[in-house]
Structure 1
């Protein structure tokens, strides 16, 4: 009984999706998922300085740092990965949405999520002879992100499976 309850309450990895957009394209481009994503991750860490006192050490926390990682299989003709790599070359700011599709929000096609802005800091293409080409990326995030409700269209949800918002902001 407890195992069944766990299975109904646990969030599967495929339900936590990430959408990306180059900030300069916000007026004309929707946020998009990477094709064939195999893994995503978000890490928040904080260094702390230690000061020795007569009573023992005291710790002073530094600023939190956030990194988002993504790994996917390269799709033929994938323009999003090309755009993201160009953004790395151009030091262009990127918008990233982390969306939990297992937690619908108040309106249709809205889900609980987080919004981030940052830079692509690393991209690696791995091409093993017997496997598909894999692309791994690391994004350095400005600040801690903001929590809110994120629009994910039906089409974006379908792509995910095979605060600013993800829809165009204007012409």
Structure 2
């Protein structure tokens, strides 16, 4: 009998919830930490290049243009979400936004709560609120990125790693 060596995806594949994005308005860097969006359902990063084609006697040659990077995020709107409000104001004010992409499946060797990732700066170019009658309000964001981003180690706190909510104990919490 012939033995097949199959690639095991269970130990190697990165689940979507393990690739997290953090955001901060650049002008708030001295007083605010990067933060995750509440109830994120989807993130995406696209890198693309246009190329010009020049006809020659020997056939076409292609000249690649500059790479363009776009980051998208979709989340369920959390009541009183301050980050969404800040990001929408950044769109109105043409304010630069910092974005970190962290892969929670790849811890960095430089310390605890650090993960391999990328750092970007760009502008929020589109925000869309979708409110279907029988569903939660969904917010979709699109960022146009300056440059290509830089590789590095990203700090993601334990509570940010938990994403949607943190443990709350049974005693009353006040008022």
Residues 143 and 63 of structure 1: is their aligned pair in 2 closer, same or farther, counting only changes over 3 Å? same
Match of 1:28 in 2: 31
1:15 aligns with 2:30: no
Contact conserved, 1:64 with 1:144, CA < 8 A, in 2?
Answer: yes
The one-character-per-residue Cα deviations of 1:62-97 (angstroms, maximum 9, x if unpaired) are: 000000000000000100000000000000000000
Instruction: Answer yes or no: is the 8 Å Cα contact 1:17–1:160 preserved in 2.
Output: no
Q: Which protein has the larger Cα radius of gyration, Structure 1 or Structure 2?
A: 2
Contact 1:14/1:161, CA 8 A, preserved across alignment: no
Gaps of 5+ in 2: 167-175
Give the SS at the match of 1:80. helix
Partner of 2:153: 149
Residue 110 (structure 1) aligned with residue 111 (structure 2): no
**Structure 1 residue 161: deviation in Å?**
7.3
Q: Counterparts in 2 of 1:79-158, with a 5 A limit?
A: 79-106=82-109, 107-158=111-162
**Could you say which residue in structure 2 is the equivalent of 1:62?**
65
Q: 1:12: Cα distance to partner?
A: 0.2
Secondary structure of 2:119's match? Answer: strand
User: TM-score w.r.t. structure 2 length?
Assistant: 0.89
Larger RCO, structures 1/2 (Cα 8 Å, 6+ apart): 1
TM-score, length-normalised on structure 1? Answer: 0.91
The residue aligned with 2:173 is none
Question: How many residue pairs are counted as aligned between the two chains?
Answer: 161
Residues 124 and 78 from structure 1, CA distance in 2 versus in 1: closer, same or farther, beyond 3 angstroms? same
Displacement after TM superposition at 1:154 (Å): 1.2
Tell me which protein shows more helix as a share of its residues.
1
Kept after mapping to 2: 8 A contact 1:120/1:139: yes
Deviation by residue 1:20-52 (Cα, 9 ceiling, x = unmatched): 000000000000000000000000000000000
1:159, CA displacement in angstroms?
A: 2.4
